[in-house]
Structure 1
Amino acid sequence: MDDQPQLQLFEIKELSPTSLRCTVRCVAGMVRLGATVELRPASGRPVAGDLTVSAIEYAGGVAMEFVDLGRTALVTVTGPIDEVALRTVAAGDGPGQVVTADLRLVVR
């Protein structure tokens, strides 16, 4: 997984059965708008697959086409999301719980 572009979740801002909005930090490669990603812990099975990166915003609400290594952003992904499974893995939605779970959006 280390060679695949990926975003590490810091905080879940909004969660629904079809959308996840979260703050992230790019920890590998570059993730582009429209990319297909799966949500999974750094070591473990995916919690959600076939998600699409539908929005990327940098500080101040600046819309961007990509997030590259070392940058932070507010990212929205859309697709089928099992809220219960995600909350179980993250044990809540505060930054401490999400960071501890080491959840990643990994480009497929």
Structure 2
Amino acid sequence: MDDEPQLQLFEIKDVSPTSLRCTVRCVAGTVRLGATVELRPAAGRPVAEGLTVSAIEYAGGVAMEFVDLGRTALVTVTGPIDEAALRAVAADDAPEQVVPADLRLVVR
């Protein structure tokens, strides 16, 4: 998984059955707008698959086409999301719960 472009979740801003909006940090490669990703713990099975990166914003609401290594951004992915499975992995939306879960959006 280390060679796949991926974003590590820091904070979940909003989640619904069809979208997830979260603050992330790019920990490998470059993730581009429109990429297909799966949501999974760093070591584990996917929580959601077939998601599409539909929005990327840098600080100040600047829309971007990509997030590259070391940068942070506000990212929205769309597709089928099992909220119950996500909440079982990350007990709360607060960073103190999301960060230890080491959830990642991994490009497929």
Regarding TM over 0.5, the answer is yes
- The alignment partner of 1:96 has SS state of helix
Q: After the TM superposition, list the runs of 4 or more consecutive aligned residues in structure 1 that deviate by more than 4 angstroms.
A: none
2:59 maps to a residue whose letter is A
Q: TM-score, normalised by structure 2?
A: 1.00
- 1:48-59 counterparts in 2 under 5 A? 48-59=48-59
- 1:1-108 counterparts in 2 under 5 A? 1-108=1-108
1:79 maps to a residue whose letter is G
- The alignment partner of 1:60 has SS state of coil
- The alignment partner of 2:43 has SS state of coil
- The alignment partner of 2:60 has SS state of helix
CA-based RMSD: 0.2
CA apart distance, 1:96: 0.8
Q: Give me the whole-angstrom Cα distance separating, in 2, the residues matched to 1:45 and 1:92.
A: 19
**Please, which runs of 5 or more residues in structure 1 have no aligned partner?**
none
**Please, which runs of 5 or more residues in structure 2 have no aligned partner?**
none
1:6 maps to a residue whose letter is Q
Identity of aligned residues (%): 88
- The alignment partner of 1:100 has SS state of helix
- The alignment partner of 2:4 has SS state of coil
CA apart distance, 1:101: 0.1
- The alignment partner of 1:39 has SS state of strand
Q: Give me the whole-angstrom Cα distance separating, in 1, the residues matched to 2:68 and 2:47.
A: 23
CA apart distance, 1:3: 0.2
